[in-house]
């Protein structure tokens, strides 16, 4: 199988996996992979668990469409495209995942500041450059009515937080990236785990010591 076909097949497989996790249900969310100067991207507004290889768009590094999906399917380029492109442009990403995970949405709502913070958790080590004692910070931006309108605030967050590999979108989800699809997937799984830890601690009414270790502000 040629490199381009492998990337397309991988997107199809990952979308199906992410669907089982609740990350791309209701046609939301998506993934993009960059290989050899070509960007492969799932279409917008489709059932992600039912994607086929011939449904994937191919773009150049400037975001221009080089290859459309199979004729007759009338598919649209992902509404996430300009946001994916920012990760490629500003962070040298090799893959970007957009998740509508419930954990990401709740994490964006329980932090009083425009940041999600957590420290002293083993899974932090799954994020490149981070260790157990580090404080992981994820910026939170406000949602907009249209996905493309998030581009400016996403770029601002990336520039303000140069060490982050994720940006939460309030009441919406999260964008996560990595140097390749394996790292992006690992990052997405670790971030989602850490979001859930804080949510579960809140539900359990954890003592203040746990909260000061794990979130930016104590809500007790």
Active site residue 114: no
Q: Which of 122, 147, 155, 200 is catalytic?
A: 122
Upper half-sphere CA count for residue 146 (Cβ side, 13 Å):
6
Is residue 187 a known part of a binding site? Answer: no
Is residue 100 a known part of a binding site? Answer: yes
DSSP assigned state of 5: H
Is residue 52 a known part of a binding site? Answer: no
Is residue 219 a known part of a binding site? Answer: no
Q: Which residues on neighbouring strands pair with residue 35, listed in sequence order? A: 38
Structure tokens at 127: 């994020």
Exposed/middle/buried for residue 184 (C-beta within 10 Å: 0-12, 13-18, 19+): buried
Give the integer Cα–Cα distance in Å for 169 and 72: 34
Give the integer Cα–Cα distance in Å for 89 and 149: 17
Give the integer Cα–Cα distance in Å for 82 and 148: 6
Catalytic residues: 122
Residues comprising the binding site?
80, 98, 100, 172
Residues comprising the binding site for substrate?
80
Residues comprising the binding site for Zn(2+)?
98, 100, 172
């Amino acid at each position: 199988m040629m490199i381009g076909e492998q990337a397309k097949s991988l997107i199809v497989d990952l979308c199906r996996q992410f669907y089982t996790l609740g990350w791309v249900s209701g046609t939301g969310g998506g993934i993009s992979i960059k290989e050899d100067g070509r960007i492969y991207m799932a279409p917008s507004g489709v059932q992600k668990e039912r994607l086929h290889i011939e449904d994937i768009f191919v773009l150049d590094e400037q975001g221009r469409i080089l290859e459309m999906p199979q004729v007759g399917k009338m598919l649209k380029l992902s509404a996430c495209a300009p946001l994916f492109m920012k990760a490629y442009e500003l962070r040298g990403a090799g893959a970007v995942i957009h998740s509508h995970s419930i954990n990401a949405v709740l994490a964006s709502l329980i932090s009083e500041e425009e940041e999600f913070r957590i420290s002293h958790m083993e899974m932090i080590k799954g994020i490149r450059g981070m260790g157990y004692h580090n404080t992981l910070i994820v910026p939170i931006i406000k949602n907009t009515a249209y996905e493309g309108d998030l581009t400016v605030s996403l770029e601002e967050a990336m520039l303000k937080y140069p060490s982050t590999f994720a940006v939460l979108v309030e009441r919406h989800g999260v964008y996560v990236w990595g140097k390749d699809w394996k790292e992006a997937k690992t990052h997405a799984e670790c971030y989602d785990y850490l979001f859930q830890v804080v949510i579960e601690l809140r539900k359990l009414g954890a003592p203040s010591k746990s909260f000061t270790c794990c979130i930016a502000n104590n809500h007790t």
